[in-house]
Amino acid sequence: MAEEPSEESAPGSTERVLTRRERARAATVGEIKQAALSLMREHGTTDFRFSDIARIMGMTAPALYRYFADRDELLTALIVDAYDDLGAAVADRRDQVPRDDPGGRFHLVAQAYRGWARSEPTRFALILGMPVPGYSAPEEGPTTEAARRAMAQLKSLFYDAAEQGLLDEPTFDLDAGPVSQFVDGREDPMKLGDEADLPAVTFQAMVHCWASLHGFVSLEAYGHLDWMPEDVRDALFIASMRHIADSAGLPAPKTTIS
């Protein structure tokens, strides 16, 4: 198995070149994941059978255990990939607008988040809707870590904006108690790097934005908003996002939204 314990390419070190075998292995791992995804998409569930994956790949099922110890390990890999992919989609779209337009950035972030969920419903279900039977979410495992990274992409624009002094005063009531204490006296576990600290009230507003965005997208992804036509949902989403962006003190978008 993984006989490369400490490949930890230290920052600055050259990325070790992969041997022929390592490349083949990586390719197979990728193919397995792709097969699992296509099965999931096909059946519209987050379930898959090892035997089906093998059949698609022209292999037999036991061979897959050379690459993943068990079903859960493959599932975990898929979840991590999904989070990373979502995070990347959000970051890409966000960076299409300059840093000095945090309002515009927020809008694109929200759009990307929603768009990804709609275009990849089964993968979204994989990370949003936990319970894959038998899959006991590894507490504090790699999936939690991946989720943190993805969500950090949402948050970085707030830190960015605060750093540039582009945030107005949020319309939130500042909670002078626990929240202030928490925000003021901590090592922020969500920070990506060395961003500026946020005022407590902005922190409140940021979490609120995240939760609202996530809530709308979740409801929509599970079909709980199917009773309204798509154009109504679209308009409602835009209005909601604009509203929470305002509340959080984000300036109005400079860039026209596509």
Binding residues vs DNA (CB under 7 A): 1, 3, 19-21, 24-25, 28, 48-51, 54, 58-63, 65-67, 69-72
Q: At which residue do the structure tokens 């699992």 appear?
A: 36
CA distances 114 to 17, 36, 94, 198, 233, Å, are: 37, 23, 13, 26, 11
Among DNA, its own copies, none, partner that 51 touches (CB below 5 to 8 angstroms by kind): DNA
**38 near its own copies (CB under 8 A):** no
Residue from the set 36, 37, 39, 46 that interacts with its own copies by CB under 8 A: 46
Please state, in angstroms and rounded to a whole number, the distance separating the CA atoms of residues 162 and 164: 5
Looking at the Cβ atoms of 71 and 242, the one nearer to DNA is 71
In the numeric block, which tokens belong to residue 38? Answer: 């296509």
Please state, in angstroms and rounded to a whole number, the distance separating the CA atoms of residues 204 and 174: 8
CA distances 158 to 11, 60, 147, 207, 208, Å, are: 27, 49, 18, 10, 12
| Residue 115 dihedral angles phi and psi, to the nearest 5° | -60, -40
Which of positions 166-205 make contact with its own copies (CB under 8 A)?
171-173, 175, 177-179, 182, 189-190, 204
Looking at the Cβ atoms of 2 and 10, the one nearer to DNA is 2
Site residues for its own copies per CB under 8 A: 43-47, 125-126, 128-136, 139, 144, 147, 151, 171-173, 175, 177-179, 182, 189-190, 204, 207-208, 210-216, 218-219, 222-225, 227-229, 231-232, 234-236, 238-240, 242-244, 247
